[in-house]
Structure 1
């Protein structure tokens, strides 16, 4: 009998250890830095982590090759750096703007690029990526406004303002119109990359302060 009782006690202790194991796992997960899944959710909700940035940027992934192929190397891609269009907006900087001001600047700029992409689409109607980029600009604007304290301060261009904007960059010369279209794509890429980098730094700085 004692030996049988001991076996039962040993078995009970083993079962208790097994069943109690999940409760002992939690401290290990805490040490890993993700106690309840909240940190993982926060990371996935970060504006800079959204895939929409890349969806727009994919329009310009092969832009240098496409540009030089179109102009048969008679015009070099780097020349777009000096092809200035006054209506193109500047991106936000990490250093001289608050996060809210940066978000507002990005949203306003994207509204302008969303309109300017209509010029690009008109010059290259067979490129379906341009329409996708325009639609994703709208989605990114919506996402940016979700992260703003005062989203009502940024509004879409009126039809009159958009028409004026497109009229200003129009030209009777094909070469001029095409160079303008390529300049829009060139600057859009820079605008997005710089803006995303600034937002990522601000989000990282905020995360560091919270910890």
Structure 2
């Protein structure tokens, strides 16, 4: 639990651990731990699979890394592998990856690798329906008019310099995140939704293939 306290501000590590790692109900979990070359625990990625919704299944995530190791560990490979397995088990059921992202860097890690990621800058009827169902009491973004923001109280441990660098970044995914959620350093998260479909998986595989050339 100590690593949770080192990664986030504004939380009780024990309560956070109990909520994400021990909560009972129609949820199963997959966990990946990351270690340094000296066998020090430096980060984790937890995926939760929630079947409590009648019409769909929702995959949530919690990930954190020690500040000096951020940006050096790829959670994407682990996440896409587990998400693909979940889809293949029940391809007829609507499956959504929905994560309250506090980190522009984490958003970029997903958005640069995935074919379709919500929210977009302009919004759409599909997004409006999804966010209305998943986050009906959420804060509305001034950019796209969608309730895609959520006050979570905690925040990633970023320095003032890191926050300023994110907000001045020219990287498309980070600039997009900061435009939609300028208060990420104040405990506001961007609810990032990724529809998991056969078309999405194939398009993502093609995107990865193009990037590898």
Structure label with greater radius of gyration: 1
- Structure with more relative contact order (C-alpha pairs < 8 Å, separation 6 or more): 1
Which structure has greater strand proportion? Answer: 2
Q: TM-score, normalised by structure 2?
A: 0.26
